[in-house]
């Protein structure tokens, strides 16, 4: 069977697109390996219009149910290969299943780097997105309002300063923990000094907390960093491997390049949406870019 549209990624972008396409009687299949951030986000999201205080997992459940009720198919699969051209795109899963579609939408999101303990990131997952360990300045900076906050930087010093600047408008006190020895530019150091932000270099020995809430970060050097809120500053690596396989231009940042605001690309019949596009990471933005891509895929199919 050839689908009108194959979508890789069942995050807010992919599912919003699936809803629109299924509503317009398109045969649409969404393939996902369930590694998106909202699958594990138990804390309430306060900035998604029309959904005050919903948890990430609830948003995912509702979006999926709405798309499926409209007729979209959603299937668990990790896609490792994308090939073909307009009218006959082919996706292959890690287990060797193949799927064919007239058009393709890639909504594969970004990968984030959690703080690690001896290279192991899984210890952090007990707290990530669950209570007071945050990741996304554009979405979650206000969560630090009035709180003594530790920024845990797993990437560059410039990235850490960017996160600090976001939080400076909210947190009462900021401390920066650099988990690597990334050097600081002079003006960034001056910024920290001028704003009385303590800079600590250290390796994490353990996370201490209960029921998803982090109480303290213990350093190998012996320090115990106890704060009210914790914010990870990490590089975000767009999952653009499938886009690259299809020949879509990929920016130095790793984001796939759209040809226009509609999310179409320089490969006819392939669209991109959500965090994979070079724009801020937010649920509402992901939904909007998924929706606009779907509107144009449907219009494209009308004339095809």
What's the min distance (Å) between Cβ of 82 and ligand FAD?
9
We find the least distance from the C-beta atom of residue 81 to ligand FAD, in angstroms, to be: 9
CB of 263: closest distance to ligand FAD in angstroms? 11
Which SS3 state, helix, strand or coil, does residue 190 take?
A: helix
From the list 70, 51, 59, the residue with the least C-alpha distance to 11 is: 59
Please list the residues that pair with 84 across neighbouring strands: 89
Q: 242-250: long-range contacts at Cβ-Cβ below 8 A with a sequence spacing of 24 or more? A: 242/8, 242/79, 242/81, 242/82, 242/91, 242/106, 242/108, 243/82, 243/106, 243/108, 243/270, 243/272, 243/276, 245/81, 245/82, 245/83, 246/82, 246/83, 246/104, 246/270, 248/106, 248/272
Smallest distance from ligand FAD to CB 78, Å: 5
Nearer to ligand FAD, 51 or 168 (CB): 51
Q: Which is nearer to ligand FAD, 195 or 245 (CB)?
A: 245
Decide whether 133 or 176 has the Cβ nearer to ligand FAD: 133
Dihedral sign computed on CA atoms, order 120, 122, 128, 131: negative
Cβ closest to ligand FAD, residue 136 vs residue 294: 136
**Closer residue to ligand FAD (CB): 53 or 268:** 53
Dihedral sign for Cα atoms in the order 110, 115, 121, 125: negative
Q: Give the three-class secondary structure for 280.
A: coil
The distance of closest approach from Cβ of residue 190 to ligand FAD in the complex, given in angstroms and rounded to an integer, is 31
Residues in touch with ligand FAD (CB under 6 A): 8-14, 31-38, 41, 45, 47-48, 78-79, 107-109, 112, 128-129, 135-136, 139-140, 239, 242, 274-275, 281-284, 286
Smallest distance from ligand FAD to CB 293, Å: 11
**Is the CB of residue 115 less than 8 Å from the CB of residue 206?**
no
The upper half-sphere exposure of residue 47, i.e. CA atoms within 13 Å in the direction of its Cβ, equals 15
Q: Which is nearer to ligand FAD, 192 or 256 (CB)?
A: 256
């Amino acid at each position: 069977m050839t689908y009108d549209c194959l979508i890789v990624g069942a995050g807010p972008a992919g599912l919003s697109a699936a809803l629109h396409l299924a509503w317009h009687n398109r045969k649409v299949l969404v393939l996902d390996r369930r590694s998106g951030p909202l699958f594990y986000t138990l804390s309430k999201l306060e900035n998604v219009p029309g959904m005050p205080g919903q948890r990430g997992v609830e948003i995912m459940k509702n979006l999926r149910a709405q798309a499926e009720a409209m007729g979209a198919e959603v299937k668990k699969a990790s896609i490792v290969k994308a090939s073909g051209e307009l009218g006959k795109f082919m996706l292959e899963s890690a287990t060797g299943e193949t799927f064919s579609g007239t058009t393709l939408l890639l909504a594969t999101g970004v990968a984030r780097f959690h703080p690690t303990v001896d290279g192991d990131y899984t210890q952090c997952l007990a707290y990530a997105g669950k209570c007071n360990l945050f990741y996304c300045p554009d979405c979650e900076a206000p969560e630090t309002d009035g709180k003594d906050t530790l920024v845990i930087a797993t990437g560059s010093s410039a990235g850490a300063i960017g996160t600090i600047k976001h939080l400076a408008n909210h947190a009462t006190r900021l401390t920066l923990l650099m988990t690597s020895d990334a050097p600081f530019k002079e003006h960034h150091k001056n910024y920290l000094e001028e704003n009385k932000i303590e800079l600590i270099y250290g390796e994490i020995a353990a996370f201490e907390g209960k029921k998803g809430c982090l109480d303290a970060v213990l350093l190998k050097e012996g320090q115990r960093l106890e704060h009210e809120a914790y914010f990870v500053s990490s590089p975000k690596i767009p999952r653009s491997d499938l886009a690259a396989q299809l020949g879509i231009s990929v920016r130095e940042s790793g984001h796939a390049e759209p040809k226009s605001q509609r999310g179409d690309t320089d490969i006819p019949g392939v669209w991109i949406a959500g965090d994979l596009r070079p724009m801020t990471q937010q649920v509402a933005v992901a939904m909007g870019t998924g929706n606009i891509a779907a509107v144009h895929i449907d219009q494209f199919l009308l004339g095809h």
